[in-house]
Every structure is written in C-alpha cells, then in structure tokens.
C-alpha cells in the first residue's frame, strides 16, 4: 500500500489491539493522525512493563504541543509524549499515573492513555494554610490502591503537610481526608493487603485501615531494631508472603559546592504475621524502584534491561531541586546488593528545579 495513513480505521484498531508493549504502542500512535486516533485506552491491553523514567522538562518554543520525555530502561530509547498537562508542574507517580500538583489543584494524569481525573483542591486539607511554598512542599509522596484505568474502586493516598501526615481521597469524595496524627514524621507509604502502611522517622511501621470502620485511625505495628535509622531517607515496599521491606538510603550530604550522592542502601524485612524483623542481603530475581515515586518492586526473570538483586533509585533530595543553581536530578543510579557498587541507568543529564519522577507504565 502506498499510503499507510489511508488504512481503514477498523483495521488500525485491530492492529492496535494486538500490541502488548507500551513502547510499540507509543510508536504506533505517532505515525500519523489516523494511527493516533486508533491508539486509545480501549484498544490497548499492555503486559507488565519495566518502569520508564520521566526526565526533566526541557525548554520548548511551541506552547501548543508541550511534550515530556520518558527513558526506557529495557531499550535505552527516549520517547517524547505530548503532555501539556505536565508542563512546569510538580509530578509524583504510582501505577503508571502521575499526580500533578499546582498551588491549589491536583489531578491524576495517565500520560500514555490520555486520561485525566480531577481531584479536590488541596486546600480541603485542614492544615493547608499552615504551609509556606505550598506548591513545592505540601504533598510529599503518593500511592494508588489500584489502577483507575481499570476500576472505579480505588484510593489516592498521600503524605502531606508538616510531618508528612497521611491523607486519602476516594471517587465521590468532595474533599481530602486526613488520618490521625501520631506525631512522627512519615517518610513513605504503600498500599498492601487492602491497608495503608507507612514508615516514620523512628523506623516505625504504622497502619491505617482505610477500608475499615475507622478509616482515619492510625496505629503503630512495629518499630525497626535499634541502629537502623535513616541517613537521609526511608522507604517502604510491599513484599511477598505478608512482609514489608523497610529500606534505608545513605547519602553523602550536600557540601558548600553542592555535591551530594547516594553511597549505599540497607534493607530489613518485617514479617507482619509474627511481628518479626530480619535483615535482607539478597533480593533474588527482583528489583526495587525508589525515589519520589511510589516504592515498588518488579520481577526481573523475564524482563530485558532490568537487573535482579538491585535497587533502582532517583534523586529525592528536595534541597537539590529547590536550592541549587542547576537543580536536582543527578543522584540516580542502580545499586547492586551483591557488591555495593553503583552504576548509572540513564547516561544523559536530567536536571530541574521541579521534581522528575520514575514512571511505572503498568500496574
């Protein structure tokens, strides 16, 4: 056929439905306008994907077609996606969705399926007016309970305000709901076994049964053993067999010249059934993904370009994004649990004064 753009729409839809790779689907949609029209959510059933890295925004001239770049770990390619909704704005991520954060507004945005869900304004949190520089500091981390593209029964859960208080929203709510405060700064959160778990500055794992009769009630499950305190950050990952991982990241602190960087990680495991802690030195054929994004792991045995027994991390040093001339983003890499070595996963430069996030392409 001389002109591929003249293929019948029904035929293009059938072709699109055969695609399972997110990279192939993106490439399919940018061929021409008729192919783009067939590349919709209803015509795509992706397989489990290796996460993409959302790169820092670059200066662009055409304000009507603002795009963002995503780096594929599996292929080493950079994909451009027209995404004006994510221009010059802070983004967090979970299950392939971005949480875009303005001064007041917050939205869920799926950058590849072209879906956007409006959330209540952030000032529906009672302590919103207590925070200065709200657009930078108010919401710290976000996690989804399930994928809004496939179900209406989901929760958006965040840490927010002074001390990283837990909060959540579910479809139909007109405002955000804040959970009870325990008085300790919360580093990270995860949704595991239908409950919201978080880790605080004590190394304490706390739980909030957001689907139970008292959805705002928070209690401490267990506190990490003595000596396991964060050098810069703690992360919480839902693991296997009723266990959670708590990960401590050691960072060489910023000096007068603006230099800083991750040097190591430590991992411990909490058995929720027996309330027992143990050290983890080997992740097996799994890899962790940590940063400002929601913390998670992937099985690597059948994934090209993703290494097992490794921790993939991005730069979550807030001071570097907001307090250095060139911005943050340089503290990224792959930490090998076997020998403690660190290597880059993205060889280019991705620096910004606005946070750039890992983006998971499929739940």
Q: What is the DSSP string of 53-114?
A: EEPPP---S-GGG-EEEEEETTT--EEEEE-GGGTTSEEEEETTEEEEE-SS-EEEEETTTT
Return d(Cα 283, Cα 277) in angstroms, integer. 16
Task: Please give the pLDDT value at position 358.
Answer: 53
- Computed over every residue of the chain, the mean pLDDT equals 85
What is the number of residues in the chain?
A: 363
Q: What is the pTM of this model?
A: 0.86
Task: Please give the pLDDT value at position 349.
Answer: 85
Task: Please give the pLDDT value at position 362.
Answer: 43
For residues 234, 237, 240 and 244, what is the CA-based torsion angle, rounded to 10 degrees? Answer: 40
Instruction: List pLDDT tens digits, range 3-34.
Output: 777 788 888 778 877 776 666 766 677 677 77
- Both tokens of 125, joined, read 């949190």
Task: Please give the pLDDT value at position 94.
Answer: 95
What stretches in the chain show pLDDT beneath 70?
1-2, 20-23, 25-27, 30, 41-49, 60-64, 130-137, 230-232, 254-258, 302, 304, 319-325, 355-363
């Amino acid at each position: 056929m001389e002109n591929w753009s003249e293929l019948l729409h029904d035929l293009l839809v059938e072709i699109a439905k055969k695609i399972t790779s997110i990279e192939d689907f993106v490439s399919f949609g940018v061929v021409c306008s008729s192919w783009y029209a067939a590349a919709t959510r209803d015509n795509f059933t992706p397989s489990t994907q290796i996460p993409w890295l959302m790169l820092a925004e670059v200066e662009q001239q055409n304000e009507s077609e603002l795009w963002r770049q995503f780096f594929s770990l599996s292929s080493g390619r950079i994909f451009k996606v027209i995404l004006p909704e994510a221009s010059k704005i802070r983004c967090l991520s979970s299950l392939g969705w971005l949480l875009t954060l303005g001064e007041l507004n917050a939205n869920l945005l799926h950058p590849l399926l072209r879906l956007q869900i409006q959330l209540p304004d952030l000032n529906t949190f009672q302590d919103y007016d207590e925070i200065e520089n709200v657009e930078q500091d108010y919401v710290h981390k976000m996690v989804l309970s399930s994928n809004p593209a496939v179900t209406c029964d989901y929760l958006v859960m965040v840490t927010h305000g002074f001390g990283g208080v837990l909060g959540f929203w579910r479809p139909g709510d007109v405002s955000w709901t804040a959970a009870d405060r325990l008085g300790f700064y919360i580093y990270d959160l995860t949704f595991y076994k239908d409950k919201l778990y978080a880790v605080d500055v004590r190394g304490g794992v706390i739980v909030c049964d957001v689907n139970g009769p008292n959805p705002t009630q928070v209690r401490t499950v267990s506190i990490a053993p003595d000596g396991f305190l964060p050098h810069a950050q703690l992360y919480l990952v839902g693991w296997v067999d009723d266990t959670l991982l708590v990960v401590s990241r050691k960072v060489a602190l910023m000096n007068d010249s603006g230099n800083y960087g991750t040097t190591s990680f430590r991992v411990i495991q909490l058995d929720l059934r027996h309330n027992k802690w143990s050290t983890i030195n080997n992740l097996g054929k799994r890899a962790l993904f940590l940063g400002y994004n929601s913390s998670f792991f992937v099985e690597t045995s059948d994934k090209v370009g993703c290494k097992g027994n490794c921790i993939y991390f991005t730069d979550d040093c807030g001071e570097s994004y907001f307090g250095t001339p060139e911005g943050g983003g340089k503290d990224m890499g792959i930490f090998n649990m076997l020998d403690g070595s660190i290597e880059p996963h993205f060889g280019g430069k991705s620096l910004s004064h606005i946070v750039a996030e890992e983006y998971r392409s499929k739940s």
